[in-house]
Chain A
Amino acid sequence: MIYQRLFLTALLIVYAVLAYAATTYEAAFSYEPVGPRAFPLLLLALLAVSTVYLIIRPGQMAEENADTPLTGHVLGRLVLCVLALSLFAFFFEKLGFVVAAFLFAIAMCRLYNGGWVTSVITGAVMSLAFYVLFDRLLDVPLPLGVLSGLGV
């Protein structure tokens, strides 16, 4: 319950920042009575009211969350997973899709309890198969990065 209240309070602070930003939105010239800031401000006001209500009466949590308690171990893995995703995004163009996806798939496989050998095989198969499928067959251009010198 305490975490939820903290989260909601953090949301309130975000609303305040956004509302401050929204007050500066002014149309240089306008043909209409409602400017660009009315609607966001209305939403932020409604959000603030309902969030305060939730801070006072948070209500019950669903059962779904009760049986998967966030232990330190799980939390660590979640952080690793987000890190892996971010690194994948960072290297997507720098290393190129095939290499980045290969490394990323190995990391994800390991995170989800795959063995080392299976992870490497999965990574290799997936990175190449998806590259061929999307870049060659479906015309979604994917960056080749470090492999672009190979002239494939």
Chain B
Amino acid sequence: METLGYLGQGFGVATTPLNLLTALCGTLIGTVVGLLPGLGPINGVALLIPIAFALGLPPETSLILLAAVYLGCEYGGRISSILLNIPGEASAVMTAMDGHPLARQGKGGIALSISAGGSFMGGLIATIGVTIFAPLLAKWAVAFGPAEYFVMMVFAITCLAGMAGNKPMKTAVASLIGLLLACVGIDSNSGVYRFTFGSLGLADGIQFVVLVLGLFSISEILVLLERTYYGQSALKTSGRMLFNMKEAMFVKWTVLRSGVVGFFMGILPGAGATMASAVAYMSEKRMATKDNRFGDGDLRGLAAPETANSAAACGSMVPMLTLGVPGSGTTAVMLGALTLYNITPGPLLFQTDPQLVWGLIASLFIANVMLVVMNIPLIRVFTKILAVPYWALVPGIAIVTAIGVYGVHATTFDLFLMIGIGVMGYILRKFDFPLSAVLLGFILGGIMEQNLRRALSISNGDLSILWSSPITWGGWALVALMVVLPMYRGWRQRQVARPANP
């Protein structure tokens, strides 16, 4: 009941003209960014942070903007997957599996509308989930001390690696690199300069915006350069644009299941939308017993990943708001944006900044409705944007990136640092290290070290404080599970492979 009151208050915040307009702009920008091949929610949100800051938006408004862009990107990503067979971002890869065959069969319009419907339902289910679970988790998380927080962070990092599928070790290395990058600069406890090597520009650490734009904008520009040869044209959407009742009924249960799966995958730190869409797709494929046409244009195969990735995008707000631990690369960027406003996300946020939290949750509802309303009639306009050539797109991205970085400190040192980080990010990407893990590590690094040192100060250096409460036991058990999971998965794969080739 109390929750409903807060939610009402949140709608009050979200429906102010400024915030409504922001949500509308955010969803539009997000859809466009999401559908541009190669650009995903991280790029979109990262590029907008400096702009939101420059506009002087209040914190809740800029958070609404970023959340709307995030949701919009998840919507937009599906358009290029379905019509071009080029996923705009990793979480839309699964959408292309069944979406593109549908478009080739001339059912592009139906595919687009059913996936918009799926995204809407996923977002709705997950937003309801956020409304129910976030306050509960926040209430519970208030009992967290520094030791519990530290264990939580260790869990987030191992979860990231454990859920990473085929490359747990590379994910672990990437997140450790991120943690290490967070150590650069003056150590706030002792005043010692760490890893600055005498450079003044590094004295107060690597700026968050510099790291994000280097990793995701500069490295993306370099990757796009490799792909300039591609000139595939989009399939035309003809015929019926809207799905009918029969089709909606056909995917009803798939949508509901995938929405719930997506939400819970979104809550897990580090799992995020990409994992959620893959898990939903795979489990639906296994469950479909009669007329299974997965991979060949099955509506369920399209609805499942689309529902799940939108649900996960909303779900990942839960750990960000309640624990200050981001659930995905994009929420890591949003968390960084909050710290720019001097707001520390965590359980107390629900008490200290209710208008921010509930305004955000309410605007998730609103953005979702806007997206589904906007996406069905505007689909033809959006498909036009797919034709923007790289020679116009990339210089624009590069210049906005440079302005964003220069705007932080007005030094060219940051520009060079960003280029260096970008080249490093590009190399890591080429060797298949996930960059979002580096970012997550960077965000968690500072808090993790602070909490470890605080915990050990309380216990006067006695390490046993790290496993002295039931919460920490639970945390370590989860960590152990996440370490064992990839090993078990590898073992099972070998077991399956053995009888196949004796």
| A interface residue numbers (CB < 8 A to B) | 3-4, 7, 18, 21-22, 25-28, 30-36, 39-40, 43-44, 46-47, 50-51, 53-54, 57, 59-62, 65, 68, 70, 74, 77-78, 81-82, 85-86, 88-90, 92-93, 97, 101, 104-105, 108-109, 111-114, 118-119, 122-123, 126-127, 130, 134, 138-142
Which 6 pairs between the two chains have the least Cβ-Cβ distance?
A114-B391, A33-B461, A27-B190, A89-B415, A108-B395, A138-B54
- Chain B, range 373-417, C-beta contacts under 8 Å to A: 389-392, 394-396, 398-400, 402-403, 406-407, 410, 412, 415-416
Q: Cβ of A43 and Cβ of B179 under 8 Å apart?
A: yes
Sampled A-B contacts (19; CB under 8 Å): A18-B180, A25-B194, A36-B190, A39-B449, A39-B453, A40-B194, A53-B169, A59-B167, A65-B432, A70-B226, A74-B225, A78-B222, A85-B218, A89-B402, A113-B391, A114-B389, A130-B403, A139-B56, A140-B50
User: Smallest CB–CB gap between A120 and chain B, Å?
Assistant: 12
Interface residues on B, range: 35 or more
Alpha-carbon distance between A108 and B457 when the two chains are bound, in angstroms: 53
Contacts of B191 in A (CB 8 A): 27-28
Considering the complex, give the chain A residue whose CB is closest to the CB of B193.
Answer: A25
Q: B391 contacts which of A57, A92, A118 (Cβ < 8 Å)?
A: A118
Return the chain A residue nearest B461 by Cβ.
A33
Complex Cα spacing A105 to B172, Å: 37
Binding site for A on B (CB under 8 A): 50-51, 54-56, 166-167, 169-170, 172-173, 176-177, 179-180, 183, 187, 189-192, 194-195, 197, 218, 221-222, 224-228, 389-392, 394-396, 398-400, 402-403, 406-407, 410, 412, 415-416, 419, 422-423, 426-427, 430-432, 449, 452-453, 456-457, 460-461
A45 to B, closest residue via Cβ: B176
A104 CA / B50 CA spacing, docked (Å): 21
Tell me if B398 and A108 are in contact (CB < 8 A).
Answer: yes
Contact B395 A126 (CB under 8 A): yes
Besides A30-B190, A89-B419, 5 other CB < 8 A contacts?
Answer: A34-B453, A36-B187, A39-B183, A43-B183, A130-B403
A32 and B432 contact, Cβ closer than 8 Å, known pairs A78-B222, A118-B391: no
Please indicate the chain A residues that have their CB under 8 angstroms from the CB of B390 in the complex: 112-113
CA distance in complex: A54, B428 (Å): 13
Whether A28 touches B190, Cβ cut-off 8 Å, given contacts A43-B180, A65-B430, A140-B50, is yes
Contact flag A43-B457 (CB < 8 Å), given A62-B432, A112-B390, A142-B403: no
Tell me which of B218, B224, B430, B460 contacts A33 (CB under 8 A).
Answer: B460
Bound: A101/B395 CA distance, A = 9
Nearest CB of chain B from residue A65's CB, rounded to whole Å:
6
Q: Which of B218, B227, B399 contacts A101 (CB 8 A)?
A: B399
Question: Assuming the A-B contacts A78-B225, A104-B399, A113-B390, are A18 and B456 also in contact, with contact meaning beta carbons closer than 8 angstroms in the complex?
Answer: no
With beta carbons under 8 angstroms apart, the residue of B166, B170, B221 that contacts A54 is B170
Q: A82-B423, A105-B399, A122-B395 are in contact. Are A59 and B169 (CB under 8 A)?
A: yes
Q: Please, how many angstroms separate the alpha-carbon atoms of A33 and B460 in the complex? A: 6
Cβ of A104 to closest chain B Cβ, rounded Å: 7
Q: How far is the CA of A113 from the CA of B189 in the complex (A)?
A: 51
Picked from A21, A25, A93, A97, the residue with its CB within 8 Å of the CB of B187 is: A25
Contacts known (A40-B180, A68-B227); A112 close to B391, Cβ less than 8 A = yes
Residues B195 and A60 in contact, CB atoms below 8 Å apart: no
Looking at the assembled complex, report how far the CB atom of A21 sits from the nearest CB atom of chain B, in whole angstroms. 6
Asked if A32 contacts B456 (CB within 8 A), the reply is yes
**Closest chain B residue to A40 by CB distance?**
B183
User: Which residues of B have CB within 8 Å of A78?
Assistant: 222, 225-226, 426
The answer to whether B395 touches A32, judged by C-beta atoms less than 8 angstroms apart, is no
* A residues in contact with B399, CB < 8 Å: 101, 104-105, 126-127, 130
- Whether A82 contacts B419 by the Cβ 8 Å rule is yes
Least distance between A8 CB and chain B CB atoms (Å): 8
Contact between chains at B228 and A112 (CB < 8 Å): yes
Q: Which A residue sits closest to B426, measured CB to CB?
A: A78
Chain B's nearest CB lies how many Å from the CB of A67? 10
Bound Cα distance A7, B428 (Å): 9
**How many whole Å from A122's CB to the nearest CB in chain B?**
6
- Tell me, in angstroms, the Cα distance from A121 to B56 when the chains sit together: 32
Q: Which residue of B lies closest to A86 (CB)?
A: B419
B392 touches A122 (CB 8 A): yes
Q: For A33, what are the chain B residues with a Cβ–Cβ distance below 8 Å?
A: 456-457, 460-461
A138 to B392, CA, bound (A): 23
Q: How far is the CB of A53 from chain B (nearest CB, A)?
A: 6
| Cross-chain contact A81 with B222 (CB below 8 angstroms) | yes
How far, in whole Å, are A3 and B394 apart by their CA atoms in the complex?
28
- Whether B183 pairs with A138 at a CB distance below 8 angstroms is no
CB pair A22 B431 closer than 8 Å: no
Q: Is the CB of A109 within 8 A of B192?
A: no
A54 touches B407 (CB 8 A): no
Chain B residues with CB under 8 Å of A111's CB are: 225
A36 touching B189 by the CB < 8 A rule? yes
A13 to B228, CA, bound (A): 35
Q: Is A21 a contact of B403 with CB atoms below 8 Å? A: no
Q: A93 to chain B: which residues have CB within 8 Å? A: 412
Question: Judging by beta carbons under 8 Å apart, are A92 and B412 in contact?
Answer: yes
The residue of chain A having its C-beta at the shortest distance from the C-beta of B171 within the complex is A50
- Residue pair A92, B398 in contact (C-beta under 8 Å): no
Q: Which residues of B contact A74 (CB under 8 A)?
A: 225-226
Report yes or no: A140 in contact with B54, Cβ–Cβ below 8 A. yes
Chain B residues in 8 Å Cβ range of A50: 169, 172-173, 176
- A46 touching B176, Cβ below 8 Å: yes
Q: Which of A36, A70, A101, A119 contacts B194 (CB 8 A)?
A: A36
Residues of A within 8 A of B225 (CB): 74, 77-78, 81, 111-112
Distance in angstroms from B185 CB to nearest chain A CB is 11
Whether B173 contacts A141 by the Cβ 8 Å rule is no
The answer to whether B398 and A130 have CB atoms under 8 Å apart is no
